[in-house]
Structure 1
Amino acid sequence: MANNYGLSDAELNLIKTQASRRAEMRREFLKQRTNPWKNASEAGYVFDTALQRFLSMKVTQFEYFTVNKRTSLFGFFVIVVPMFTFGTLIWNERTQREQKIRSGELRYKDRLFKLA
């Protein structure tokens, strides 16, 4: 019995099919890319429809954006909450350090930011 790397025969055949399809697409792309007469009118690049669809989607994504509960919560928890948390942590740390400096617990030579 041959070593199938712990995969079933169906999975191994699927992987081989995908690899052969990728190799064929790569050969076709290189064939078109290196043909000097085929793409001369297109400024020397191969027109990729999938890439064009992706770029068009990225350009028009704000035209089709709709505000809903999910996007609002995402914006709140990704933008507002981290900014507020970080600001609170910085404010608390500075307040505690200032209190230690004013009460004399922190000597001048032990401070992180000093003039001399």
Structure 2
Amino acid sequence: MAGGTANVDVVKERAAVRAAIKKEFQKQVTNPHRHGSAEGGVLFDPAVQRFMSMRATRYDHFKPTPRSSLIGIAMLAVPILGYGWWMKTSRENFEAKCRTGQVAYADREFKFA
């Protein structure tokens, strides 16, 4: 049981350090008197800069792979073809019911006009 409480203590300590770092960052970013101390108006954070650079050059470094191609097909072609197949079969089923007399003429909604 002692190992479990030590683990919880480590997690709490990391959370406290993370909260202190966030608080200091917010304090520096929102300080209205920074421009007077000749520090400039921008707080440079290397992690934020790497993230923004990654987002700006995402497509410059993209290399198509079979996996990315399959994901593209799955996200684009499969829904379109599936919806087309569903529309075709529902139309055929409705027409078959109309032709065999399962749907009376007065009860038809004419939704496939």
User: Normalising to structure 2: TM-score of the pair?
Assistant: 0.72
Alignment gaps of 5+ in structure 2: none
Aligned to 1:24: 20
Richer in helix (by share):
2
Q: Give the C-alpha shift of residue 19 in structure 1.
A: 0.8
Q: Give the C-alpha shift of residue 46 in structure 1.
A: 4.5
Say yes or no: does 1:84 pair with 2:81.
Answer: yes
* Cα distance in 2, alignment partners of residues 51 and 112 from structure 1: 57
8 Å contact kept, 1:33–1:39 = no
Q: Residue 94 of structure 1 aligns to which amino acid in structure 2?
A: R
Q: Give the C-alpha shift of residue 66 in structure 1.
A: 0.8
Q: Give the C-alpha shift of residue 71 in structure 1.
A: 1.0
- After superposition, what is the alpha-carbon deviation per residue over 1:33-73, rounded to whole angstroms, capped at 9, x for unaligned? 3311226853xx74443233222212211111111111112
Aligned to 1:66: 63
8 Å contact kept, 1:32–1:39 = no
* Cα distance in 1, alignment partners of residues 98 and 91 from structure 2: 10
Aligned residues: 108
- After superposition, what is the alpha-carbon deviation per residue over 1:49-101, rounded to whole angstroms, capped at 9, x for unaligned? 32332222122111111111111122122222222122211211122113323
Q: Relative contact order, CA 8 A, sep 6+: which one is greater?
A: 2
RMSD: 2.9
Q: What secondary structure, in the 3-state scheme, does the structure 1 residue paired with 2:34 have?
A: coil
Say yes or no: does 1:101 pair with 2:62.
Answer: no
* Cα distance in 2, alignment partners of residues 39 and 101 from structure 1: 78
Q: Residue 78 of structure 2 aligns to which amino acid in structure 1?
A: V
Alignment partner for residue 51 of structure 2, among 48, 51, 54? 54
User: Normalising to structure 1: TM-score of the pair?
Assistant: 0.70
